[in-house]
Amino acid sequence: MAVGYLYDVVIDCPEPGVLAEFYVKVVGGEIADTSPDWVTLRMPSGARVSFQQVDDYSAPQWPGQEHPQQIHFDVMVTDLDESEPLVLALGAKLLHVKNSGCRVYADPAGHPFCLVTS
């Protein structure tokens, strides 16, 4: 049984609104949940892609590894306290408690992901 479900894919960028507008034109959907440093694109299917502002952003350079791809998953769970031991047992490491509804972890390869509650 899975710990939660994929809620959001979050992409680091210098200007979230600009990138969200680009992807609306590429894949459709509508812009929601906007702030100066965060914009969410919602698809009719319910899928979400969010764009997060990063200071001193450095663009990925594919296929090289000097500037790797910058993306992470948000996983929706019903209870952070119940879900945390499950992901830790799978090999995750707690990196940061962002707020009462979000905790940031690293997967076994070091990629960040978040457990979030609604």
For residue 42, the enclosing domain spans: 8-56
Tell me if 61 is assigned to some domain: no
Cα Rg, the chain, nearest whole Å: 15
Specify whether the CB–CB gap between 117 and 78 falls below 8 A: yes
Tell me if 62 is assigned to some domain: no
pLDDT at 93: 93
Give yes or no: residues 43 and 13 share one domain: yes
Give yes or no: residues 46 and 77 share one domain: no
Grouping H, G, I as helix, E, B as strand and the rest as coil, residue 6 is: strand
Give yes or no: residues 92 and 116 share one domain: yes
**pLDDT mean for each 10 residues of the chain (118 residues):** 93 93 92 93 94 90 78 92 95 89 88 90
> Residue 16 contacts by C-beta under 8 Å, 6 or more apart in sequence?
34, 37, 38, 39, 50, 51, 52, 53
pTM (two decimals): 0.79
pLDDT at 33: 87
